[in-house]
A = this chain, B = another copy of it.
Amino acid sequence: MEVTLEMARTAIRAALDAGAEKGFRPLTAIVLDAGGHIVAFERSDGSAPGRFAIAHGKAYGAVMLGMPGSAQMKRAEDQHYFMTAMNGAFGGAVVPVPGGILIKDGDRVIGALGVTGDTSDNDVIAGLQGLEAAGLTGAA
């Protein structure tokens, strides 16, 4: 299975809508494919201009390392210089906090959803709801 544009659109819009319904701050979301390339992206009105880089870094780090944001955060807490090195090795595009959610087909990583705008935990709540709306399975 591959992540189609229709799935990505659905997941992003459902994540943004979930955040709005729950009263989260305006969210920004991105979907990358299995190669780490962008399929779709949306930034809510009122989000800071830098939200693209954060959403992208969460999702890109997840795909490139095969690790969801929560696992990257644990690694950063245990061994911060390693995740700093990962940030450098991938040109700055690794943001090791929750909200970088792997999209999986069984054991296979087929992409990632990155969500940012509220607390990292709330970003994950909205993101998982988005993936569910698109019929996709996430590992946060």
Partner of A49, one of B4, B53, B63: B63
Are B88 and A92 neighbours in the complex by a CB distance under 8 Å?
yes
**In terms of DSSP, what is the predominant structure of the interface of chain A?**
mixed
Number of interface residues of A (CB under 8 A): 53
- A77-113 vs B, CB cutoff 8 Å, 1 = contact: the mask equals 1011111111111111111110000000000010000
Q: Determine if B43 and A5 form an interchain contact, defined as CB atoms under 8 angstroms apart.
A: yes
Chain A 27-63, CB within 8 Å of chain B: the 1/0 string? 0000001111111111111011110111011000001
Besides A48-B65, A79-B97, 6 more A-B contacts (Cβ < 8 Å) are: A5-B42, A40-B42, A49-B63, A50-B64, A53-B64, A80-B81
